[in-house]
Amino acid sequence: MPSFDSLFNAFVTILVTIDPPGLAPLFLAVTRGMNRDERMQVSVRASVIGFAVLAVFALMGSAILGAFGITLPAFRVAGGLLLFFIAFEMVFERRQERKEKSADAAITKDHIRNLAAFPLAIPLIAGPGAISATVLLSGSMASTAGQVALVAIILLCLLITYLVFVLADRIDRLLGETGRSILTRLLGVILAALAVQFVADGVKALMAA
């Protein structure tokens, strides 16, 4: 069974890359004009799809990499760099602008019933950062108990995301512009530190090989 520290680090990494507080205003934006019941349906479907995508990569991440001839240490370095880039965007508030552009594009191209799948589930919930983090964590939690724990952590993170969607309007008003800015920057710094650790572990493994 993985240690408490590794489980907690996995929880923080996945939760930060999904960034539920940052998704709250975007959820309100893409569901504009819907009533509460319709928003509930969208939030449930988006959370389920996001969980399914991340769970597949948690359980089959190594096999998927192997099919492309990619070693886990190499992916660890690449994923760590990607996570660091996301953290950089969060600290300097560039990530929100990119997410908003994705949401706006989807509103004009997709029917409202597909909003749960795109852009909410993919790429806003299960985006490149969250998928990379999941594959990296699956490599360090390769035992059966570790895989079960990782899927449970993903489920917990998606439950939190679902609750944020349900309470999106209240959270957005509570945090305000200043609160969202502070929270996003704080989470970005934490993610940057975790990303550096991923890169360091990957480089160490590559050199050992």
The answer to whether 166 touches 40, Cβ cutoff 8 Å, is: yes
Distance in angstroms (rounded) separating the CA atoms of residues 104 and 205 = 41
Q: What is the mean pLDDT of residues 139-158?
A: 93
Distance in angstroms (rounded) separating the CA atoms of residues 85 and 70 = 21
Query: Tell me: the pLDDT tens digits for 74-132?
Result: 887 888 888 788 788 878 876 555 555 555 544 443 445 588 887 789 878 987 778 88
4-8, 50-54, 131-135, range with greatest mean pLDDT:
50-54
Q: What is the mean pLDDT of residues 140-152?
A: 92
Domain count, the chain: 1
What mean pLDDT, rounded, does the chain reach?
83
pLDDT of residue 109: 39
Could you tell me the pTM of the whole model?
0.74
The encoded tokens of residue 209 equal 């090989």
Beta strands per DSSP E along the chain: none
Share of the chain above pLDDT 90, in %: 29
Specify the range with the lowest mean pLDDT, choosing from 2-16, 23-37, 96-110, 176-190.
96-110
The answer to whether 54 touches 131, Cβ cutoff 8 Å, is: yes
Q: What is the mean pLDDT of residues 129-142?
A: 88
pLDDT of residue 106: 46
Show Cβ contacts of residue 169 under 8 Å, excluding neighbours closer than 6 positions.
Answer: 28
Residue with tokens 């009533």: 35
Q: What is the mean pLDDT of residues 58-70?
A: 86
The answer to whether 184 touches 96, Cβ cutoff 8 Å, is: yes
The answer to whether 165 touches 23, Cβ cutoff 8 Å, is: yes
Q: Which domain holds residue 64?
A: 4-208
HEC letters along 80-115: HHHHHHHHHHHHCCCHHHHHHHHHHHHHHHCCHHHC
pLDDT of residue 47: 95
Query: Tell me: the pLDDT tens digits for 20-36?
Result: 987 887 788 777 767 78
Distance in angstroms (rounded) separating the CA atoms of residues 23 and 172 = 10
DSSP state of 143: S
